[in-house]
Amino acid sequence: MAKITLDNLRHSYMPNPQGPEDWALKEMSQALEDGGAYALLGPSGCGKTTLLNLISGLLRPTQGRILFDDADVSGMTPEQRNIAQVFQFPVIYDTMTVYDNLAFPLRNRGVPAGEVDKRVKEVGEMLDLGHMLKKRASGLTADGKQKISLGRGLVRSDVNVIMFDEPLTVIDPHLKWVLRSKLKELHHRIKRTMIYVTHDQTEALTFADRVVVMNNGEVVQVGTPVELFERPAHTFVGHFIGSPGMNVLPCSIDGGRVGFFGQAVATAGAIQAAEDNGRMELGVRPEFIRFDTSGIPVEIVKAADVGRFRIVETQHRDHRIKLLVPEGQPVPSGPAHVRFDPKHTHVYRDGWLVN
């Protein structure tokens, strides 16, 4: 168990990185608290797996340091770092039984047989594998195999961190949920630092206490699921998290007042006059827009019923504005007006949240 500190970390797969596009992971510093459940979330190629492999030691960083507690582990092998990892495709030792698979990491480290037996049985119980310890691992289904890979991390009582690299990719949809709750439950029980890499926001938001959102090799925001939802630090986070994503609309700043095509818009936090440069945008989630008798005039384009609410797509000039209308409330027909909730309307300059 350890606190993980990433200090000015940067990585490139090229021998001589030149421009910013050569860096798979742009410079970042971050501290991950001991015993926390973290998720690295982002689209394919955003650098999340690179970051994961840097922490596990499968890659050496081009620049910067990684500390476990206060010890610099940047130059250490994965084995020396004492970590565990569950891969996207289940990795099991085909010729061994489930028991031997779980015992493998302990035996490699010369743990006495009695202790091995105790730990393996304990972990087997924890993962509901107890009744099949004698079976050949190759005969199990994908979720069983994935449990074994997880179990090989859990048997070692001293691992610093357990990492998951999109572990549910090959699991059947109805079992994904089961395995996810199992993970959450395990985290509560053993309080080990866990890092979960995924491109699926549901997986990230349900598993993690804190989510690290990444895009184009850089960390865009670190926060709790609620923070990501209510105060996206970047329009990318607004888009990527939430379904449907945040509305991003052009706006003008005039002496600290925010305008949307001539309409004054109230926002959370004041805007300084000096900040009126760059590409200015408004961001507001569909959840925080409602129909009103006055406000921004819109035309209704279409409405989709998704159960407990309806997603209504409206249009002001060329700009689409989506909003959610709870079940039971009417959707006006013809021209209408919408109003943004000031507390949840944010201003972005060049994509980044102002204030």
Please give the residue ranges that form the binding site for another protein (CB under 8 A): 56, 58, 77-79, 83-85, 87-89, 91, 93-96, 104-105, 108-109, 136, 149, 152-153
The minimum distance between CB 164 and another protein, in angstroms, equals 13
145 within 8 A of 129, measured Cβ to Cβ: no
Q: Which is nearer to another protein, 95 or 315 (CB)?
A: 95
Please identify, using beta-carbon distances, which residue of 152 and 339 lies nearer to another protein: 152
Q: Is 143 in contact with 175 (CB distance < 8 Å)? A: yes
149 near 71, Cβ under 8 Å?
A: no
Q: How far is the CB of 75 from another protein (least distance, A)?
A: 15
Give min distance, CB of 93 to another protein, in A. 5
Where would I find the H helices in 212-267? 225-230, 235-240
| CB of 87 or CB of 309, closer to another protein | 87
Residue 194 Cβ vs another protein, minimum distance, rounded to whole Å: 15
- Tell me how far apart the alpha carbons of residues 215 and 232 are, in angstroms, rounded to a whole number: 14
Type of residue numbered 270: A
Nearer to another protein, 139 or 269 (CB): 139
Least Å distance, CB 53 to another protein, is: 8
- 52 or 280: whose CB is closer to another protein? 52
Shortest CB 88 distance to another protein, Å: 7
Q: What are the Cα distances from residue 114, in Å, to 103, 105, 121, 127, 331?
A: 11, 15, 11, 20, 68
Report H helices in the chain: 48-56, 78-81, 98-108, 113-126, 142-154, 173-190, 201-207, 225-230, 235-240
350 is written with which tokens?
């060049």
Q: Pick the closer one to another protein by CB: 139 or 326.
A: 139
Provide the minimum distance between the beta carbon of 13 and another protein in the complex, in angstroms, as a whole number: 13
CB of 90 to another protein, least distance (A): 9
H helices of 191-240, in order, are: 201-207, 225-230, 235-240
Q: Using the minimum distance from each CB to another protein, give the nearer residue, 35 or 78.
A: 78
Of 105 and 225, nearer to another protein (C-beta) is 105
Using CA atoms, how far apart are residues 251 and 259, in angstroms rounded to an integer?
Answer: 6
Core vs surface per residue 244-276: b (16+ CB within 10 A) or e:
bbbbbbebebeeeebebeeeebebbeebeeeee
User: Distance between CA 247 and CA 335 in Å, rounded?
Assistant: 20
Decide whether 47 or 105 has the Cβ nearer to another protein: 105
Rounded CA separation 42/38 (Å) = 13
* Residue 111: CB minimum distance to another protein, A: 11
Residue 105 contacts residue 156 (beta carbons within 8 Å): yes
